[in-house]
């Protein structure tokens, strides 16, 4: 669901105040954080979606990496996960279900967490994901509200997965481009998260369905700042720029509509406009890094790229140069 529709649906719901709830839904953060003790907080999230690749094992891996990413985006360590699976048991062999679950389990184990159960329903379409519980120190969190003026914006994975996955589902993506896409979506954000905490960062978000600019706008709002993003510096998956026009999705249109009043475009580039609102699957982290620790962070996270900076709050949330 697009960010505009989601905000409208949630707006009438009353918020219940609880001093133990450190991070709730108010800031559109990546996960909820609930205080247990002075030095221990639970990080909780859930995410699932329909297949974006044909191979059931790879789909399980990607969906699991995507769900685990929300915990990493908060500076947390995944502990347990529960499967969420909708499956057309009369239309597909149960071996497909086994492979999806095996892929998810493989990625959860790579993260150092364990699968403790789950829930299945019969449905006309496959959908899979995880409910993940992690832990974090309440004084060492990454949140949407932690960006500070002067910090550098670092993106840890290239974007363009929505456009390329659309082409792949139509059988129109070259094998080498498909391999690069799969490698990116299967990669965990564990190193990027731990390095952010080590660098003293207080703000991060993972780039998923709302696109790079959608998630960046949540940081701008929650942190009361303006983010300036240099489009020319944003890393792209191989083939994304060349195929931007043929792989656009309905999700991108919803993201663009939501961002219409939030972005000042200083760059007339239709391709980059499309890519910056492209819904991502298991994207990287966008981290606001203190300038003094920028070199440390870039050396610790392979592929991390500086794409902008945090500025004092202005009349607009995002400026794209």
pTM for the predicted model, two decimal places? 0.95
CA distances (Å), origin 249, targets 12, 256, 318: 29, 11, 22
Provide the domain count of the chain.
2
42 and 172 in a common domain: no
Q: Yes or no: say if 93 and 136 are a contact pair by the CB < 8 Å rule.
A: no
* Residue 111 domain flag: yes
Tokens of 306: 């500086």
148 and 132 in a common domain: no
Phi, psi of 215 (to 5 degrees): -70, -35
CA distance 241 to 314: 30
CA distance 130 to 45: 8
Domain assignment of residue 67, given as a range = 31-136
Q: pLDDT truncated to tens, each residue of the chain (321 aa)? A: 777 788 889 888 888 888 999 998 888 899 999 999 999 999 999 999 999 999 999 999 999 999 999 999 999 999 999 999 999 999 999 999 999 999 999 999 999 999 999 999 999 999 999 999 999 999 999 999 999 999 999 999 999 999 999 999 899 999 999 999 999 999 999 999 999 999 999 999 999 999 999 999 999 999 999 999 999 999 999 999 999 988 778 889 999 999 999 999 998 899 999 999 999 999 999 999 999 999 999 999 999 999 999 999 999 999 999
127 and 157 in a common domain: no
204 and 311 in a common domain: yes
CA distance 185 to 187: 6
Here the CATH number for the domain that contains residue 310 is 3.90.650.10
264 and 170 in a common domain: yes
148 and 131 in a common domain: no
Tokens of 118: 């789950």
Cβ atoms within 10 Å of 291's Cβ, excluding its own? 10
171 and 37 in a common domain: no
Cβ atoms within 10 Å of 227's Cβ, excluding its own? 26
Q: Which of 136, 155, 187 is the last residue of a domain?
A: 136
Phi, psi of 214 (to 5 degrees): -60, -50
302 and 156 in a common domain: yes
């Amino acid at each position: 669901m697009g960010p505009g529709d989601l905000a409208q649906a949630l707006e009438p719901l009353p918020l219940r105040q609880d001093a133990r709830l450190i991070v709730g839904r108010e800031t559109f953060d990546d996960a909820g954080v609930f205080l247990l003790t002075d030095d221990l907080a639970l990080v909780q999230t859930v995410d699932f979606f329909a297949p974006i690749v044909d191979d059931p094992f790879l789909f399980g891996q990607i969906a699991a990496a995507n769900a685990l990413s929300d915990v990493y985006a908060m500076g947390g360590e995944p502990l347990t996960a529960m499967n969420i699976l909708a499956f057309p048991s009369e239309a597909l062999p149960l071996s497909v279900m086994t492979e999806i679950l095996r892929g998810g389990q493989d990625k959860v184990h790579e993260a150092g967490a364990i699968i403790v159960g789950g829930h299945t329903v019969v449905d006309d379409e496959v959908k899979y994901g995880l409910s993940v519980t992690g832990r974090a120190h309440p004084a060492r969190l990454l949140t949407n509200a932690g960006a500070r003026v002067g910090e550098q914006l670092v993106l840890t994975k290239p974007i363009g997965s929505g456009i390329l996955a659309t082409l792949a589902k139509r059988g129109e993506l070259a094998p080498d481009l498909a391999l690069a896409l799969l490698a990116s979506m299967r990669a965990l954000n564990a190193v990027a998260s731990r390095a952010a905490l080590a660098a003293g960062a207080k703000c991060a978000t993972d780039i998923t369905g709302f696109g790079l600019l959608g998630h960046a706008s949540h940081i701008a709002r929650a942190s009361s700042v303006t983010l300036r993003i240099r489009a020319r510096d944003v890393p792209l998956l191989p083939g994304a720029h060349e195929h931007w026009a043929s792989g656009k999705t309905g999700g991108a249109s919803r993201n663009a509509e939501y961002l219409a009043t939030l972005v000042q475009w200083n760059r007339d580039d239709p391709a980059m406009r499309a890519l910056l609102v492209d819904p991502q699957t298991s994207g990287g982290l966008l981290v606001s890094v203190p300038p003094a620790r920028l070199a440390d962070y870039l050396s610790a996270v392979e592929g991390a790229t500086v794409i902008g900076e945090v500025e004092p709050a202005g009349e607009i949330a995002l400026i794209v140069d």
